[in-house]
Amino acid sequence: MLQVRKTTIEDITEVMQIYADGREIMCESGNKEQWQGNYPPQIMVEDDIKKGLSYVCESENGLVAVFFFSTEPDPTYAKIEGAWLNDEKYGVIHRIARKKNANAKGVGAFCLKWCFEQISNIRIDTHEANAPMRILLQNLGFSYCGIIWLDNGEERMAFHGLKSSI
């Protein structure tokens, strides 16, 4: 049985391994541009943990996924080439990754559905080459809304989901 909880600093080694698995999964699926090097850096993940914005998903066998979740407005979402579905309060998901093993299949959908239990309005973005994430978002009823830009100027595909659509 899967469950979500806040990440603790004691989880950091395993969480960083899950992010390494996520980079490997992305490369294997043809996404060789996103999360290059050691992204996300450990200092960023530790900061997310301290702020209470990092979450892990665990099964009876241990941690299987990690993600950032906040219900505060995301500055990178203030400007969009396109349009969000609405202007209501929203949750945002970033840096979602799963452990690389067969037991982790379906965990991404579980984590996103958990977020919808916290708030019914979710925004998320992904790299154009991240086909597995785009498919997951489509399967959960997210709508493609346009392009947003990260602080470093890189473009990302922006998606918006409503709990009523899943």
pLDDT tens across 97-142, in order? 999 875 777 899 999 999 999 999 999 999 999 999 999 999 999 9
What is the span of the domain harbouring residue 89? 3-165
Over residues 10-19, mean pLDDT: 97
Letter for the amino acid at 35? W
Domain of 40: which CATH number? 3.40.630.30
How confident is the model at residue 102, as a pLDDT?
A: 57
Overall domain count for the chain = 1
Over residues 9-21, mean pLDDT: 97
- Can you tell me the distance from the alpha carbon of 159 to that of 19, in angstroms, rounded to the nearest whole number? 22
What's CA 59's distance to the chain center, in Å?
A: 18
The conformational region for residue 154 under phi > 0 = left, psi -120 to 50 = alpha, else beta, is: beta
Kindly report the backbone phi and psi dihedral angles of residue 136, in degrees, each rounded to the nearest multiple of 5, phi listed first: -60, -45
End-to-end alpha-carbon separation of the chain, Å? 21
Beta strands in 46-154 (DSSP E): 54-59, 62-70, 81-82, 91-98, 121-126, 143-149
